[in-house]
């Protein structure tokens, strides 16, 4: 039989949505283009708005066992290494009721994959989508192989380069001209000797930043170096190369520079997002995750937004399901589209602004530093809108925080 729902894309967002919908009694098929399910990258941060959902799914304990529950998030200046501000993550957990975790992307993906298998999700590999279309009874996906899959609804979790997005808008990914290098270091290496693996630390600097935190119960140190590429700004095709990495961090503090040799220098991730869109649903085809709202990574919400999307959609399925099990898909999809685009627009826009703030130089850098040093450790005004319960309806979306103008800060370090 045809499934009730087809999810195109077997990443974190696609698997999260598949599990959420299967929990609601639906038959779900996931189409993954790769030969096998897997995830690349290194660490990922899970704020309380995500761990709350993992707890609802019964997966939080497993996630916590695979990751690290850090005690603090610290921001430092990348040039002189001085601390600028911090979050007490133990207090943050008390405030929001759920922990802040850091976990390896492959561990989170594996957790969701195991949950989907146990729930009976139909997992299909080597299935690259070529076209989407609505039908009289629902929607269909045609693969590059010519095989056709049909269902009541198709969820396109097909990422930054989504094929389905073209049904709704004619746009392209937006290059930030920034590139990320990643790498993990075993805890027994000298690099890790003086590092507190219980802290998430970001060093913010002129046109660059550097992040580190522990993974896998403290077995690994995760490092990420991000910088603006002059070659990208000049329009060159080959940009983000290792020589640019070294140049970008040449004037940072010793701790940051000493971490560069431990990065994977044979691969890097160019950073793109897309301009927000308000329409995610085309008949019985709906966008989810990066196909709808790929962000820059500065507030660590990309995968979380995708997990939230799946949870919200499943909640509206439950609210629009009759006693006979029939789902009013038009109502469920309309409710999903009524709430998620605005929240995700805020995240995409804030991520861009936060990235600009991190990478300031000159007088604006010193003004930023002065504002951050003046911040109270227990001031949550800038994350309350983000880390609280995920809104199911527009009126539940909290007010966005009010930015503090840099001009209001003294121009002294």
Exactly one of 57, 132, 178, 213 is catalytic; which is it? Answer: 213
Annotation says 378 is catalytic = no
Contacts of 204 (CB under 8 A, 6+ apart): 75, 76, 77, 78, 84, 357, 358, 359
What is the distance between the alpha carbons of residues 80 and 366, in angstroms, rounded to a whole number?
12
Conformational region of residue 261, where left means phi above 0, alpha means psi within -120 to 50, and beta covers everything else: alpha
**Tokens, residue 7:** 């999810």
What is the distance between the alpha carbons of residues 287 and 142, in angstroms, rounded to a whole number?
17
Taking a C-beta distance cutoff of 8 angstroms, is the pair 89, 100 a contact? yes
Which runs of E-coded beta strand occur in 158-310?
174-186, 199-205, 208-215, 220-228, 269-273, 281-282, 285-287
Q: What are phi and psi of 346, to 5 degrees?
A: -60, -40
Taking a C-beta distance cutoff of 8 angstroms, is the pair 310, 159 a contact? no
Q: Whats the size of the chain, residue-wise?
A: 413
Which runs of E-coded beta strand occur in 189-265?
199-205, 208-215, 220-228
Q: What are phi and psi of 233, to 5 degrees?
A: -65, -30
**Tokens, residue 165:** 């997005």
What is the distance between the alpha carbons of residues 370 and 412, in angstroms, rounded to a whole number?
7
In terms of Cβ atoms closer than 10 Å to its own Cβ (0-12, 13-18, 19+), residue 352 is: middle
Element (H, E) at 96: helix 89-96
Tell me the β-bridge partners of 104.
43
What is the distance between the alpha carbons of residues 291 and 174, in angstroms, rounded to a whole number?
13
Give catalytic residues, as residue numbers: 213
């Amino acid at each position: 039989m045809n499934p009730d729902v087809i999810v195109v894309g077997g990443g974190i967002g696609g698997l999260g949505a598949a599990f959420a919908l299967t929990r609601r009694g639906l038959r779900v098929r996931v189409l993954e283009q790769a030969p096998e399910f897997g995830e690349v990258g290194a660490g990922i941060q899970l704020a309380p708005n995500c761990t709350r959902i993992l707890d609802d799914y019964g997966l939080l304990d497993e996630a916590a066992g695979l990751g690290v529950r850090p005690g603090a998030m610290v921001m430092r200046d990348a040039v002189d290494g001085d601390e600028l501000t911090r979050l007490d993550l133990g207090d943050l957990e008390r405030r929001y009721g759920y922990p802040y975790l850091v976990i390896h992307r492959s561990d989170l993906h594996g957790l969701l994959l195991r949950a989907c298998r146990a729930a009976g999700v139909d997992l299909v590999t080597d299935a690259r989508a070529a076209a989407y279309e609505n039908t009289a009874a629902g929607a269909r996906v045609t693969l590059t192989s010519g095989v056709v899959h049909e269902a009541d609804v198709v969820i396109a979790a097909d990422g930054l380069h989504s094929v389905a997005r073209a049904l709704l808008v004619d746009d392209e990914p937006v290059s930030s001209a920034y590139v990320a290098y990643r790498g993990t270091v075993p805890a027994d290496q000298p690099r890790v000797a003086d590092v507190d693996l219980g802290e998430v630390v970001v060093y913010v600097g002129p046109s660059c930043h550097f992040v580190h935190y522990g993974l896998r119960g403290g077995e690994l140190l995760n490092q990420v170096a991000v910088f603006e590429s002059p070659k990208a700004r000049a329009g060159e095709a080959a940009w983000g190369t290792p020589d640019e990495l070294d140049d970008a961090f040449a004037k940072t503090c010793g701790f940051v520079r000493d971490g560069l040799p431990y990065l994977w220098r044979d691969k890097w991730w160019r950073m793109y997002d897309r301009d927000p869109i308000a329409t995610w649903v085309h008949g019985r085809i709906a966008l989810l995750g990066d196909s709808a709202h790929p962000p820059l990574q500065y507030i660590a919400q990309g995968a979380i937004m995708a997990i939230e999307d799946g949870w919200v959609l499943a909640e509206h399925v439950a609210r629009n399901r009759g006693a006979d099990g029939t789902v009013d898909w038009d109502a469920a999809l309309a409710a999903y589209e009524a709430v998620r685009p605005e929240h995700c627009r805020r995240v995409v826009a804030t991520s861009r602004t936060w990235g600009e703030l991190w990478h300031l130089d000159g007088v604006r850098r010193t003004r930023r530093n002065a504002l951050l040093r003046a911040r109270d450790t227990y001031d949550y005004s800038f994350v309350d809108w983000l880390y609280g319960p995920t809104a199911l309806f527009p009126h539940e979306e909290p007010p966005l925080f009010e930015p503090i103008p840099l001009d209001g800060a003294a121009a002294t370090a």
